[in-house]
């Protein structure tokens, strides 16, 4: 896929498909101001097909040689006041999907003029590339030849702009390419079966990233014995039921001029059966995705080597499987985390918080200015916010705001949730410091966040519960069924803003 920014006028663009955008109620005259013949063709199609410019609506027109492009697609945007960078990406992804259906390979997008009134050209460019790449993504590795051949690979994608927008668009295009490649890196990892993405495999991916980055990224893999010496009893408690050896993965990059240090911790359960508190079959079906947080961390480093923001970043993944077996941790067992706190395990399916307890304790030891964790942590968060929105908890308003702002720029939805101290007694244990499930059945995503807070030692920290948006159970415009790579772009944007 080759992207370019061109100042060619839309009527001169030699492409298979020219994509124009229309607000609700916008007239053909303003879409193609200088071409009367084309105006009347578009107008006719719009009237015949009752196109109003609503979001998700489109109309396509053969140009019959009136301009260079073979075909035009007009895409509806809905009302201007409802438009944001998420919808911009969606509108691009939707057009990309249409282009693939039309089986065309060369396209030109004409960004709507009024987009620049709302957003800098740089952000328009970034969003457009992300829309094309993310909307066009398919995981076809295990499909046959026929299915692979049916998938049209777009070849040339042009964005047509006026000369004063070129520099900004070019910059955004560069960022968008890195952001979307990193997201796809995460998607591919999540979509791989758990038989492939074992803890050992994730460690190998990390080591490969280190090798490719030629000294920019240092990677350390801590084996079970070393992890035991460091006192990570909570992580090892989860890992002990599995035949697969656990791996504690640490990635580190410290560019010259870095002022701040951020640790990003990703939940890395490569398969979650629930352990002895075994999950029912339907709930287990998608549990290869329980390493989505880890995939995000690895993808970040794939992106950071190209972006090079001036921030020191440490990535932490406590990777293991959660399996039932004769050696598995049992309900009632007590584990001691690296920070010395004791945890009564009452449900072995609440394993993510156990591995994160040690991941976060390790993060604290790095003495960073901020810790961010991403975890497919609770079904309760999905009940609260649905499939598309992540929950955000944090102990520092400034950090919360920065992460929220980054998420809005990249169009990944998240919602700030309360770290409600009055619920703390719900995770008090009768026999240890805390227990891994709560008393009562409500507010499970909040009590999980409160559990994690026990391990961050007052360092500014944000927890993202990505159980919903990490994995799509049915296709959306920007994500097909399967891994979404959620969080990659938000954290990259946050780091980019921090290291400017
Ligand atoms: N990995 C799951 C959470 C999850 C559920 C992620 C569905 C994505 C989709 C997690 O380890 C888990 O099982 N959590 C339990 C916690 C409970 C036992 C307190 C849950 O949410 O049911
Ligand atoms: Zn679980
Ligand atoms: Zn889990």
Q: 182-498 has which CATH code?
A: 3.40.630.10
Sequence ranges of the domains in the chain: 2-162, 182-498
How far away, in angstroms, is 238 Cα from ligand 2 center?
10
Atom of ligand 1 nearest to the CA of 322: 11
Which residues have a Cβ under 8 Å from the Cβ of 428 and sit 6 or more positions away? 434, 435
Closest ligand to Cα 286: 1
Instruction: Give the pLDDT score at 36.
Output: 82
Question: Which of 254, 279, 310, 424 is an active site residue?
Answer: 279
Identical fold between 2-162 and 182-498: no
How far away, in angstroms, is 330 Cα from ligand 3 center?
16
Catalytic site includes residue 353:
yes
- Beta strand segments in 209-246, E: 218-222
How far away, in angstroms, is 359 Cα from ligand 1 center?
18
Ligand 1 touching residue 290 (CB < 6 A): yes
Residue 326 tokens, joined: 């004769």
If you take atom 17 of ligand 1, which residue's CA is the nearest one?
350
Question: Which of 165, 267, 353, 435 is an active site residue?
Answer: 353
How far away, in angstroms, is 353 Cα from ligand 2 center?
9
The span from the CA of 299 to the CA of 172, in Å, is: 19
Q: Which long-range contacts (CB under 8 A, 24 or more apart) does 421-424 make?
A: 421/450, 423/447, 423/450, 424/450
Atom of ligand 1 nearest to the CA of 289: 8
Instruction: Give the pLDDT score at 28.
Output: 85
Cα angle, residue 316 at apex, residues 490 and 367 outer, rounded to 5°: 95
Percent of residues, the chain, with pLDDT higher than 70: 100
Q: Which residues neighbour ligand 3 (ion) by CB within 5 Å?
A: 269, 272, 290, 352
Catalytic site includes residue 259:
no
Ligand 1 touching residue 134 (CB < 6 A): no
Closest ligand to Cα 472: 1
How far away, in angstroms, is 473 Cα from ligand 2 center?
18
Residue 195 tokens, joined: 């038989």
Of 343, 350, 386, 487, best ligand 1 pocket probe by most atoms within 8 Å of the beta carbon: 350
3-state secondary structure 291-309: HHHHHHHHHHHHHHHHHCC
If you take atom 5 of ligand 1, which residue's CA is the nearest one?
379
In this structure, the number of other CB atoms found within 10 A of the CB of residue 79 comes to: 12
Q: Which helix (H) or strand (E) holds 101?
A: helix 85-102
How far away, in angstroms, is 284 Cα from ligand 2 center?
9
pLDDT tens digits, one per residue of 256-266 = 999 999 999 99
Instruction: Give the pLDDT score at 136.
Output: 95
- Does domain 2-162 bear CATH number 3.40.50.720? no
pLDDT tens digits, one per residue of 380-418 = 999 999 999 999 999 999 999 999 999 999 999 999 999
Distance of CA 434 to the CA centre of its chain: 31
Residue with tokens 């992207």: 3
Instruction: Give the pLDDT score at 309.
Output: 96
Ligand 1 touching residue 437 (CB < 6 A): yes
pLDDT 10s per residue in the chain (500 long)? 999 999 999 999 999 999 999 999 998 888 887 778 888 889 999 999 999 999 999 999 999 888 999 999 999 999 999 999 999 999 999 999 999 999 999 999 999 999 999 999 999 999 999 999 999 999 999 999 999 999 988 999 999 999 999 999 999 999 999 999 999 999 999 999 999 999 999 999 999 999 999 899 999 999 999 999 999 999 999 999 999 999 999 999 999 999 999 999 999 999 999 999 999 999 999 999 999 999 999 999 999 999 999 999 999 999 999 999 999 999 999 999 999 999 999 999 999 999 999 999 999 999 999 999 999 999 999 999 999 999 999 999 999 999 999 999 999 999 999 999 999 999 999 999 999 999 999 999 999 999 999 999 999 999 999 999 999 999 999 999 999 999 999 999 999 999 98
Ligand 1 touching residue 380 (CB < 6 A): yes
Ligand 1 touching residue 376 (CB < 6 A): yes
């Amino acid at each position: 896929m080759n992207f370019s920014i061109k100042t060619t006028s839309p009527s001169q663009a030699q492409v298979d498909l020219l994509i124009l955008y229309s607000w609700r109620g916008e007239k053909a005259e303003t879409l193609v101001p200088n071409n009367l013949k084309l105006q009347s063709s578009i107008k006719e199609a719009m009237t015949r097909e009752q196109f109003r410019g609503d979001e998700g609506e489109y109309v396509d027109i053969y140009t019959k040689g009136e301009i260079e492009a073979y075909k035009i697609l007009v895409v509806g945007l809905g009302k201007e006041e409802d438009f944001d960078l998420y919808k911009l990406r969606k509108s691009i992804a939707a057009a990309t999907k249409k282009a693939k259906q039309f089986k065309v390979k060369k396209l030109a997008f004409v960004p709507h003029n009024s987009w620049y009134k709302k957003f800098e050209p740089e952000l328009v460019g970034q969003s457009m590339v992300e829309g094309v790449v993310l909307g066009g993504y398919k995981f076809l590795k295990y499909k046959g030849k026929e299915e692979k051949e049916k998938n049209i690979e777009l070849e040339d994608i042009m964005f047509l702009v006026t000369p004063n927008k070129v520099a900004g668009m070019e910059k955004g295009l560069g960022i968008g390419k890195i952001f979307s490649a990193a997201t796809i890196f995460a998607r591919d990892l999540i979509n791989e079966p758990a038989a492939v993405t074992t803890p050992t495999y994730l460690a190998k991916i990390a080591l490969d990233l280190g090798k490719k980055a030629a000294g920019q990224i240092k990677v350390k893999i801590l084996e079970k014995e070393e992890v035991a010496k460091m006192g990570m009893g909570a992580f090892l408690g989860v890992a002990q039921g599995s035949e697969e050896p656990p791996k504690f993965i640490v990635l580190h990059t410290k560019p010259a001029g870095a002022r701040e240090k951020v640790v990003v911790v990703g939940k890395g359960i490569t398969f979650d059966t629930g352990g002895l508190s075994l999950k029912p079959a339907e709930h287990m079906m998608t549990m290869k995705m329980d390493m989505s947080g880890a995939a995000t961390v690895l993808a970040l480093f794939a992106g950071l080597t190209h972006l090079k923001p001036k921030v020191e970043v440490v990535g932490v993944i406590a990777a293991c499987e959660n399996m039932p077996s004769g050696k598995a941790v049992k309900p009632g067992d007590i584990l001691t985390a690296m920070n010395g706190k004791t945890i009564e395990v009452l449900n072995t399916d609440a394993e993510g918080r156990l591995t994160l307890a040690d991941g976060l304790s390790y993060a604290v030891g790095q003495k960073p200015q901020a810790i961010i964790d991403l975890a497919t942590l609770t079904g309760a968060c999905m009940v609260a916010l649905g499939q598309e929105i992540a929950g955000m908890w944090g102990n520092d308003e400034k950090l919360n705001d920065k992460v929220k702002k980054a998420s809005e720029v990249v169009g990944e939805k998240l919602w700030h949730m309360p770290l409600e101290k009055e619920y703390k007694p719900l995770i008090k244990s009768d026999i240890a410091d805390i227990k891994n499930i709560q008393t009562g059945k409500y507010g499970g995503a909040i009590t999980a966040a409160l559990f994690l807070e026990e391990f961050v030692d007052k360092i500014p920290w944000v927890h993202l519960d990505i159980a919903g948006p990490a994995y799509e159970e049915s296709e959306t415009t920007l994500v097909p069924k399967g891994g979404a790579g959620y969080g990659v772009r938000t954290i990259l944007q946050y780091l980019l803003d921090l290291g400017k």
